[in-house]
Structure 1
């Protein structure tokens, strides 16, 4: 398995952030998705409902680890600190600058930060729990887009993408 640093370097560090936003999405995703038209729509979808939705999914990872892999789960805080350090010293600077230069709401930065951290945690625990939702969201970012919300009831429904 790749280290967290290797995963970051290979899967996150080279993303062309938001380079295809506003263009049609052309990627394969495990979920149905629909495209939003502009940053205003994207920002409107990056709300507490979306945050709570993502929190519930991330909590699924921590609950499974706590129940079935307690020893591994005890490393959660130290792994989180390592992942946060990699992100803060790297791509989060670019994302923050992009958001400021384009007068975007802070919710854009916060959503991306959460998603990237959660994807790194899914990777770190992939020997124990199959990576899922956040690893798939990473594919959206890698395609130059941003996941912005969920329409419908989980797991049916559609991912909203800009």
Structure 2
């Protein structure tokens, strides 16, 4: 397995959070995307449909690990605890401040937290399963934007990005 601390230190800790929101989107991703125009659009689209889609995709990851890499999957909870600790003691403080200062809904914070945690888990298990959806979402954060929903029926459709 790969180190979530390494991923945190080399990738997550270096992100300039939301620095390009509202600007042109210049990222290379395997997903089609649609640009949304303002934080209100972000808040509107971070909803139960978006949460359920991300949960469904994460469950596909855990199912694959359970079926094909059972011994490695037994470490899931330990790796998750380490990843949560890194996030809680690091960038989530900065993100919480941003959310409060900009008077955004807490659902924005919760969505980012989920995305980062799941991207860390994809990275940790990347020797066993192909990097997937949450790694693509992570590219959006790295570019200074925020993924905020899905338009269409998965897997067709487009990612919404601000």
TM-score interval for Structure 1 and Structure 2 normalised by the shorter chain? over 0.9
Over residues 86-113 of structure 1, what are the superposed CA-to-partner deviations in whole Å (9 max), with x where a residue is unaligned? 0000000000000000000001100000
- Please name the residue that 2:158 is paired with: 158
- Please name the residue that 1:107 is paired with: 107
- Please name the residue that 1:128 is paired with: 128
Aligned residues: 162
Report the CA distance between 1:64 and its aligned residue: 0.2
Matched, 1:10 2:10: yes
Over residues 31-50 of structure 1, what are the superposed CA-to-partner deviations in whole Å (9 max), with x where a residue is unaligned? 11011000001100000100
Unmatched 5+ stretches in structure 2 = none
Q: After superposition, where does 1:51-130 map in structure 2 within 5 Å?
A: 51-130=51-130
In structure 2, distance between residues paired with 1:75 and 1:161: 33
Report the CA distance between 1:20 and its aligned residue: 0.5
> Would the aligned equivalents of 2:21 and 2:145 in 1 still touch at CA under 8 Å?
yes
Q: TM-score, normalised by structure 2?
A: 0.98
In structure 1, distance between residues paired with 2:90 and 2:99: 15
Distance 1:66-1:2 versus aligned 2 partners, 3 A rule:
closer
SS of 1:13's equivalent in the other structure is: helix
In structure 2, distance between residues paired with 1:5 and 1:29: 24
Unmatched 5+ stretches in structure 1 = none
CA RMSD in angstroms, aligned pairs only: 0.9
Hey, which bits of structure 1, 4+ residues long, moved more than 6 A?
Answer: none
- Please name the residue that 1:140 is paired with: 140
Q: TM-score, normalised by structure 1?
A: 0.98
Q: After superposition, where does 1:11-50 map in structure 2 within 5 Å?
A: 11-50=11-50
In structure 2, distance between residues paired with 1:142 and 1:124: 18
Report the CA distance between 1:156 and its aligned residue: 1.4
